[in-house]
Amino acid sequence: MNIAKDTVVTIHFTVASSDGTQIDSSKNGEPMVFLQGSHFLIQGLEDELDGKTTGDKFVVDIAPNLAYGERHDELVQAVPKSMFEEMDVNPGMTFRATTDDGEQSVMILEVNEEDVIVDGNHPLAGMTLNFDVEVLDVREATEEEIAHGHPHTEDGSGHTH
């Protein structure tokens, strides 16, 4: 069976930056299981998987526009330290911030006497990502999985609805 919309796919993957620095991998753990077409994956990887089948292996570079987007300098901002009230904030911490465009995640880059420098870009924004993928299994999704937008485990859904 080929990977197509509404198939449940099981893969092992390793993702690295363009300089070869490994970012994540499933190869020493549990494989990733997802519903193709549910936008669980970045668009570029979902596109590359389309049409593949069990046993296929491939390596692909995914450009930022099909991954986590380009970096936007205007998403790096200084906000008054007073906005964090009694919180002890440190570089590397992440928060949900309310913006004019709704909620978004921000990462603390720097803390000084007056301001906290936050970055609203995804940490992988602007990066070309290299994926090494092995397709372990492909099966048709059940009607329930399609309705819920994600695969269910063999012993049930793995959660309650």
Beta-carbon contacts of 96 under 8 Å, excluding residues fewer than 6 positions away, are: 103, 104, 105, 106
Summarised one tens digit per residue, pLDDT across range 87-145 is 888 999 998 887 777 888 889 999 998 999 999 999 999 999 999 999 999 999 999 99
Q: Looking at the domain assignment, is residue 154 inside a domain?
A: no
- Which tens digits make up the pLDDT trace of 132-147? 999 999 999 999 999 9
Same domain, 132 and 114: no
Domain that holds residue 20: 7-68+125-148
Residue 79 lies in a domain: yes
How far is the C-alpha of 130 from the C-alpha of 135, rounded, in Å? 16
Return the CATH number at 21.
Answer: 3.10.50.40
Distance CA 58, CA 49 (A): 9
Domains identified in the chain, total number: 2
Find the CATH number of the domain harbouring 102.
2.40.10.330
* Contact between 99 and 120 (Cβ < 8 Å): yes
Same domain? 64 vs 77: no
What's the pTM? 0.82
